[in-house]
């Protein structure tokens, strides 16, 4: 057994929770602590793909710096020292997407944060649950609903939301508004909407659907905001099979990295659920 200095006590989380996250290779725990193994002298991310040691050989430390101070060295497989840099890159990319008038291309976004495109694509999706392009689409959809309520015409709204052409806006509106933009502006006139609220790992989630797509996916615990935004629509609670199907999809969707900003986490989660619902038909 390698002679390693005693590890300081972990105060941020309890050791049972840390072990469970490590045993499950939970990526959301990366960056919250590192796992040091006395028999090898190596420290890893909780999600490291390496074979799991026995629990009595494991120590949990709150940072790579603490692990190095205790005499451990970084795993060359999972590169635990890169977690902070990875998180900073994802956060910077999210800020760039949020500030852009139109979705930035992956190549430009990756170069801006100092990563190769394919590697950054995987990194972003691992942290948020969606790709950079999907996150940008979600941001544009949010802007579109706001613009439809505020702008004097559908044409003005689509350009305000960042669409370069009406064709893309109208194509998206079927799935992302569940109706034509004009119907949305008229409060859902002539549209029938089914809705349900289901628990999620991030709080109660309202899902409202039409025959054409999703009318609303939002962190809300009742239908009041839906009714206010679409007062002319016919609203009815979803039937049991629909509620169960939505609940399964929401439950299966993992929450994004807990260290991202809350607005980014919520938008990413909503987009991941929306995509899964649309793919499921």
Which residues are tagged catalytic? Answer: 44, 48, 75, 78
- Please state, in angstroms and rounded to a whole number, the distance separating the CA atoms of residues 152 and 167: 19
Q: Measuring CA to CA, which residue among 48, 126, 111 is closest to residue 80?
A: 48
- Please state, in angstroms and rounded to a whole number, the distance separating the CA atoms of residues 1 and 240: 57
Q: Are 183 and 246 in contact (CB under 8 A)?
A: no
Q: Are 202 and 265 in contact (CB under 8 A)?
A: yes
Which contiguous run of DSSP H or E holds residue 214? strand 214-218
Q: Judge residue 247's burial from the number of C-beta atoms within 10 Å of its C-beta, 0-12 exposed, 13-18 middle, 19 or more buried.
A: middle
- Please state, in angstroms and rounded to a whole number, the distance separating the CA atoms of residues 255 and 271: 11
Span between the terminal Cα atoms of the chain, in Å: 55
Tokens standing for residue 6: 């005693």
Which contiguous run of DSSP H or E holds residue 60? strand 58-61
Rounded to 5 degrees, what are φ and ψ at 195?
-140, 160
């Amino acid at each position: 057994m390698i002679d390693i200095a005693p590890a300081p006590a972990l105060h941020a989380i309890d050791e049972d929770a840390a072990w469970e996250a490590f045993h499950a290779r939970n990526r959301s725990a990366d960056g919250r602590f590192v796992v040091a193994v006395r028999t090898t002298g190596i420290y890893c991310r909780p999600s490291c793909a390496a074979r799991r040691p026995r629990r009595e050989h494991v120590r949990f430390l709150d940072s790579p710096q603490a692990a190095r101070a205790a005499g451990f060295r970084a795993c060359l497989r999972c590169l635990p020292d890169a977690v902070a840099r990875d998180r900073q890159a994802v956060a910077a990319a999210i800020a760039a997407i949020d500030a852009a008038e139109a979705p930035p291309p992956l190549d430009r976004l990756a170069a801006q944060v100092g990563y190769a495109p394919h590697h950054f694509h995987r990194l972003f999706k691992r942290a948020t649950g969606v790709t950079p392009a999907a996150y940008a689409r979600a941001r544009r959809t949010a802007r579109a609903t706001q613009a439809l309520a505020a702008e004097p015409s559908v044409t003005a709204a689509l350009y305000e939301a960042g669409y370069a052409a009406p064709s893309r806006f109208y194509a998206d509106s079927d799935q992302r508004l569940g109706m034509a933009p004009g119907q949305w502006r008229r409060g859902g006139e002539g549209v029938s909407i089914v809705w349900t609220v289901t628990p999620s790992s991030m709080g109660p989630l309202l899902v409202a659907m039409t025959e054409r797509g999703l009318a609303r996916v939002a962190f809300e615990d009742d239908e009041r905001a839906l009714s206010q935004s679409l007062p002319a629509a016919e609203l009815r609670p979803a039937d049991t099979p629909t509620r169960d199907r939505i609940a399964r999809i929401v439950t299966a969707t993992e929450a994004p990295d807990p260290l991202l900003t809350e607005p980014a986490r919520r938008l990413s989660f909503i987009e991941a659920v929306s995509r899964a619902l649309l793919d499921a038909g």
